[in-house]
Structure 1
């Protein structure tokens, strides 16, 4: 389905699904563990997460029933699973390390700004990841590893007799039994155990993920890279900073083409900061796109460029505080946006860890507000911990939920206090069902409808 101006939308009722990576209130929050980007794989079977520590964590779908059954109850459970995916930790790898630009005397953080899944014609999986200056192409592949268990084959009575006769001390002559001639060349030492013909059996099968860096694309942006997007030709992708957009060929890492350059001759001429687009998504119909700036989210029809189809107001209540938000650098926060697979629902984050979901034509212009509580009860430690003490994200497995997101779909007009220190920047919508992943500090909170 695709968005239509006259297509009515039914508001979705949201329910908590699961939380990944939640820490207990007594555990300190490490700056390196804060999630900075989230992306679903095209089919929705995998979910990639990047963090400030330069790592990429991959989750896999864990709700499918692989056993074929015609039982009605099993079929109902499988049907529900298709509508409500669950995910579990799969693997992680270090994508970027901190660097130092000697020419500009600038430290380059390892923080992952964006990740994008890339699937080729032969279904190989790749991930594009970027920090402020360097883009990397990673090949991620699932290997089937068979564990072989050694075992001795059972001996029949005939073979046991041959074994006993063959290892009698002093036996150096040939023997014939059952028509077969057995020759022993050496005398077997006394008290030596007979060697056994070893057979093997498969003890288990694992499917681990392995990652390998295929290409590195660097030294093409003067400003910090904030977005990457792969094209439908399976050969090129674009990277963007605040003022420039470059076009890359996947196979060529040492050169690119600059297709848009909005840098003024005098940087002091830059105005209208709140109108700067922080995220853009193309809908599946190829005719609409969704954009997000600091104040609003807009839906555009590319056949009508004069005005957007719909405007979703998110930060209009902050307009009187723009000067204050500029002074504390909040005005530069880059909020992402996403949409449902049928193109009828749209979502973005806000301050106070609010998720805003809009359904045009539903009669609710304000949309639905969900307050995402990932680690809100734990005192944040904003100073980065020493790298030697940085904990691995392999503990991102669903744990005991002490608090999760709060749904307020009925009282959608209730105004929450604006807390600029807690911001929901990264959101992603599952491509085939109504499941939204929200990055709240170091936790990934999932909701379904």
Structure 2
């Protein structure tokens, strides 16, 4: 990374590598919300966002109904005693496993009366924040409003039973006198909730009189805690700062600020201040007829709190330094690949639009996803990516059909493994692709989001071409690769000879420390490990 003083930071560990990596064998791990055969999926149940926290212990998903569902890792924890573990006839799982933790309604549908515009409750992005005092914080956003949620464990308080007979000692509308002999039948009073404590409400007959000597073995109700439960509480609401739909939010490494981006602006927020933000990027022209591109994705650098990158619909990525000026209208670096001569067509600009960008853990590399390809960029090499991965090149002859059905505007996400050695993204027919990110790692896997991920894996012809780039990096080993894992003819037989554009895998996330991928196929969350 080129910082303010012009120093070049050494490349992150693992990229590039000098020794080839063995290919990974992906296996099915878990599925949540699996759809039964013939079951109709409700629009509000379709998953629209997936995010691991930085430890990988927790996973969050958001759907189009405005709900956020949290999962927590269960393997590796002391859920059984040592004796039970010694007697177990099978070893503990070697891959992360998760269980449902809790869910809450993050956003509700709204209506902007000034613009006569409906605001959907759909969750666009989720980002985990640093844990404080054992509580988990996360940001969620729909098109207009960002919310900060605190999820913490609360003890559930219960009330023990009163061992008086309600038929004899309590009023049920008739005037009764208590019997001197208490009944052994327990009493379960009606409970009222207030300040988080359950209170028993009894309607004792005003004529009730304790017998002489009292009632033997009288047990009064007591409040006690039996278990803990996760409860979500909204801490902040960041609203009224975006005129256009929010497409990205990203936490800063300073753990105090974050950015939110819409089509034309990027705002900087302080976590503790919800009624004020700073506009740091504004590409809106004076005359909207002069508008040539929009912002499609934005993300903070993972370690430098002053650096961030954003992509545009023209297929470019801009790296900006917030120390240069209050309004970052000038970029520090521009990553843009020149178009090959004679390759321009009606669809060129549409498929060049970048739908998602991700920084590698060390910040040396940026992964971008456009409609047809994945591209890996070195921040020290602006002219062209160091690797290009063709995700579904077999669809290029179908671009006209994709345009008519609006599928060409689908926004696929991308992700990197924690070590930065592999990248992944989704495709149609509920398929996702995994590629090796280094010149020595030629891995290219095609998997289906199902319990049998390798069943419909097509036989792909090899059509890889490589070309040398200028030796600009310090390592001197970076080689540009163009990897076409899909090939052309054989894939037309996929899905029985048809292309299923309705089943698309748009959202996926890679575990930050293990080879585990979580991906969304409609309303189902599938997880795979290697």
Whether TM-score is above 0.5 comes out as yes
Q: 2:236 aligns with which of 215, 229, 233?
A: 215
Q: Give the Cα–Cα distance (whole angstroms) in 2 for the partners of residues 205 and 43 of structure 1.
A: 29
Q: How far apart are residue 117 of structure 1 and its match?
A: 0.8
8 Å CA contact 2:157–2:223 kept in 1: the answer is: no
Secondary structure in structure 1 of the residue aligned to 2:36 = coil
Alpha-carbon spacing, 1:412–1:89, altered in 2? closer, same or farther (3 Å)? farther
Unmatched segments (≥5 aa) in structure 2: 1-11, 164-179, 181-208, 294-313, 315-348, 462-489
Secondary structure in structure 2 of the residue aligned to 1:273 = helix
Q: How far apart are residue 151 of structure 1 and its match?
A: 10
Unmatched segments (≥5 aa) in structure 1: 153-166, 168-186, 374-402
Which position in structure 2 is the counterpart of 1:320? 397
Q: How far apart are residue 322 of structure 1 and its match?
A: 2.8
CA deviation string 1:281-328 (max 9, x = no partner):
121122222221222111222232332221111133323333332332
TM-score where L is the length of structure 1? 0.77
Structure 2 residue 38 is matched with structure 1 residue 9: no
Structure 1 segments of 4 or more deviating over 6 A? 70-76, 197-202
Q: How far apart are residue 104 of structure 1 and its match?
A: 1.3
Secondary structure in structure 2 of the residue aligned to 1:208 = strand
Q: 2:146 aligns with which of 131, 135, 153?
A: 135
Which position in structure 1 is the counterpart of 2:269? 248
8 Å CA contact 2:246–2:262 kept in 1: the answer is: yes
8 Å CA contact 1:372–1:406 kept in 2: the answer is: no
Structure 2 residue 110 is matched with structure 1 residue 99: yes
Describe how 1:66-145 pairs up with structure 2 within 5 A.
66=78, 67=80, 69=82, 77-78=91-92, 81=93, 83-120=94-131, 122-145=133-156
CA deviation string 1:32-73 (max 9, x = no partner):
101001111221111111001000011111223404649778
TM-score where L is the length of structure 2? 0.66
Which position in structure 1 is the counterpart of 2:59? 47
Secondary structure in structure 2 of the residue aligned to 1:92 = strand
Q: How far apart are residue 100 of structure 1 and its match?
A: 0.8
Q: Once superposed, what is the RMSD of the aligned Cα atoms?
A: 3.1
Q: 2:366 aligns with which of 289, 292, 295?
A: 289
Alpha-carbon spacing, 1:201–1:110, altered in 2? closer, same or farther (3 Å)? closer
Q: How far apart are residue 363 of structure 1 and its match?
A: 6.7
Which position in structure 2 is the counterpart of 1:194? 216
Which position in structure 1 is the counterpart of 2:465? none
Which position in structure 1 is the counterpart of 2:418? 341
8 Å CA contact 2:510–2:516 kept in 1: the answer is: yes
Which position in structure 1 is the counterpart of 2:198? none
Higher relative contact order (CA 8 A, sep 6+): 1
Which position in structure 2 is the counterpart of 1:182? none
Q: How far apart are residue 2 of structure 1 and its match?
A: 3.2
Number of aligned positions between the proteins: 384
Q: How far apart are residue 199 of structure 1 and its match?
A: 10
